[in-house]
Amino acid sequence: MTVIGDAVIIAGIVLLFLSFIPVRMLIRHLPPGATRESWSVLVGIIGLFIAGYITYAALRWQSHETIADMLVPAIFFLTAVFILLVSYLSLQTALSLQRISRLERESITDPLTGMYNRRHLDRRMVEEVERARRYGYPLSIMLFDIDHFKKINDQHGHQLGDVVLKNLARILSGAVRRTDIVARYGGEEILIITPHTELIEAYELADRIRVLVQDSEVADIRTQDGRQPIHVTVSIGVAELHKDMESTRILIELADEALYKAKSEGRNCVIQAKNPEDSS
């Protein structure tokens, strides 16, 4: 009985030491904040348990002669098993949630630019249009196209073209509000949904972004003369949702027509789509 009691105490101490592993791994995967600090406190509590086990072992070593003497070691052992299982399951739950979050994020983002992809854009467009109609607030969209993007790919290669797209996505995402939705519409075209925004406000925002893009360096190349910065310009079509529009497709078509006009008028400019009611 004495040998069994001592073995149970040693097993409990070993299990508590093992529980440090999943807890520390879990803490590494948590962002800074109260939750991470709470799990750090648990590390200290486990340390106190270990200290208590060791103290008990020193005081009661080889003194477990009856079944009653085995009660405390058994409770210690079961507590250690519980802490190890909770620590391990918490780690697995956190990893599973991270994996699900990553998969969800990958399913709605463009892998090259990090912007939302076309599938997510189509879904959000329907949601935002329905919300704007329900609550009666304005909604506008901006459709961007990089001027002479094919020339960049032909002269410098598609890898540099990818760099241009990535940096342009970063510029656009940083220039809009958090409530705006920036998505890759297709190729070098980018669409931004701007809820609670009338046409004139969207036009002013688009023109500010146009100037920002024009003044920004989006890539560079190495030449014999040294580093050569790459600058691009964008053409932008802006359209506003109207109550008589039957589908989101019409709204996008208006923005696309305005974009086409911007490119035909010399590029590097913003064109507002005409109100369908004005042409009737």
| Closest alpha carbon to 166 in 230, 95, 250 | 230
Give residue 225's Cα distance to chain centre: 40
| Contact in structure between 90 and 43 (CB atoms under 8 Å) | no
User: CA–CA separation, 5 vs 70, rounded Å?
Assistant: 6
The tokens for 157 are 């290669």
Q: What does residue 220 show for φ and ψ, rounded to 5 degrees?
A: -150, 160
User: CA–CA separation, 146 vs 134, rounded Å?
Assistant: 34
User: CA–CA separation, 245 vs 135, rounded Å?
Assistant: 16
Instruction: For 53-75, give the secondary structure using H, E and C.
Output: HHHHHHHHCCCCCCCHHHHHHHH
User: CA–CA separation, 36 vs 39, rounded Å?
Assistant: 5
- Catalytic: 188? yes
The tokens for 247 are 């589908």
User: Catalytic one among 128, 188, 189, 240?
Assistant: 188
User: CA–CA separation, 216 vs 238, rounded Å?
Assistant: 22
The tokens for 83 are 């802490």
Active site residues: 188
